Chain A
Amino acid sequence: MDISLQEVEYRYQANTPFERLAIKDVSIDIPSGIFLAIIGHTGSGKSTVLQHLNALLKPTTGKVMIGDREVNAEKKQKNLKAIRQRVGIVFQFPEHQLFDETVEKDICFGPMNFGVHEEEAKKRARIAIKQVGLSEEILSKSPFELSGGQMRRVAIAGVLAMEPDVIVLDEPTAGLDPRGRREIMDMFHSLHLERKLSTVLVTHSMEDASKYADQIVIMQNGQVYKKGTPNEIFSSPEGLLELGLDVPEVVRFQQKVEEKFQTKFSQTCLTVEKLTEEIASMVKRGEQE
Chain B
Amino acid sequence: MMEKMIFGRYVPAHSVIHRMDPRSKLLMIFLFVCIVFIANNSWTYGLLVIYTFAMIALSKVPFRFIISGLKPVLWLILFTLVLHLFLTKEGELLFQVGWFSIYEEGLRQGIFISVRFFLLILMTSILTLTTTPIEITDGMESLLHPLNKIKFPVHELALMMSISLRFIPTLMQETDKIMKAQTARGVEFSSGPIKERVKAIIPLLIPLFVNSFKRAEELATAMEARGYRGGEGRTKYRQLSWGLKDTTLLIFLVILSVLLVLFRT
Of the candidate stretches A109-117, A252-260, A269-277, the one touching chain B is A109-117
Contacts of A91 in B (CB 8 A): 177, 180-181, 184
Q: For residue B200, give the distance in angstroms from its CB to the closest CB of chain A.
A: 9
Minimum CB distance partner of B205 in chain A: A99
14 contacts between A and B (CB under 8 A): A17-B62, A56-B184, A84-B184, A85-B186, A89-B181, A91-B181, A91-B184, A96-B177, A96-B181, A97-B181, A97-B182, A99-B210, A113-B187, A162-B185
Number of A-B contacts (CB under 8 A): 65
Indicate if A288 sits at the interface (CB-CB under 8 A): no
Assembly CA distance A144 to B210 (angstroms): 9
Rounded to whole Å, the gap between the CB of B177 and the closest CB of chain A is 7
B207 surroundings in chain A (CB, below 8 A): 96-99
Decide: B181 and A94 in contact? CB cutoff 8 A: yes
Question: Which residues of chain A from 8 to 26 have any CB-CB distance to chain B below 8 Å in the complex?
Answer: 12-13, 15-18
- Report Cα–Cα, A130/B188, bound state, in Å: 29
B3, A113: Cβ atoms under 8 Å? Answer: no
Also in contact, A16 and B181, with CB within 8 A (given A96-B211, A97-B207, A162-B186): no
Residue B206, interface by CB 8 Å: yes
Residues of B within 8 A of A81 (CB): 186, 188
Give chain B residues whose Cβ lies under 8 Å from the Cβ of A99: 202-203, 206-207, 210
Q: Digit string of A62-84 for contact with B (CB within 8 Å is 1, else 0)?
A: 00000000000000000001001
- The answer to whether B47 has its CB under 8 Å from any CB of chain A is no
A98-133 contacts to B, CB under 8 A, are 98-100, 109-110, 113-114
Residues of chain A in range 212-240 having any CB-CB distance to chain B below 8 Å: none
Residues in chain B near residue A100, CB distance under 8 A:
203
User: Please, what's the 1-or-0 string for A166-187, where 1 marks a CB less than 8 Å from any CB in chain B?
Assistant: 0000000000000000000000
A198 at the interface (CB under 8 A from B): no
How many chain A residues have a CB neighbour from B under 8 Å?
A: 29
* A248 CB–B CB distance under 8 Å: no
Q: How far is the CA of A98 from the CA of B211 in the complex (A)?
A: 11
In the complex, which residue of chain B has the Cβ closest to the Cβ of A51?
Answer: B180
Let me know if B75 is at the binding interface, CB within 8 A.
Answer: no
**Contact between A109 and B203 (Cβ–Cβ < 8 Å)?**
yes
Q: How far is the CB of A240 from chain B (nearest CB, A)?
A: 30
Q: A17-B65, A97-B207, A110-B185 are in contact. List 17 more A-B contacts (CB 8 A).
A: A15-B64, A15-B68, A17-B11, A17-B61, A51-B180, A56-B183, A56-B184, A81-B188, A91-B180, A96-B207, A97-B181, A98-B207, A99-B210, A109-B185, A109-B203, A158-B185, A162-B186
Chain A residues near B211: list those with CB within 8 A.
96
Question: Is B178 close to A, CB under 8 A?
Answer: yes
Contact with A along B171-183 (1 / 0, CB 8 A): 0001001101111
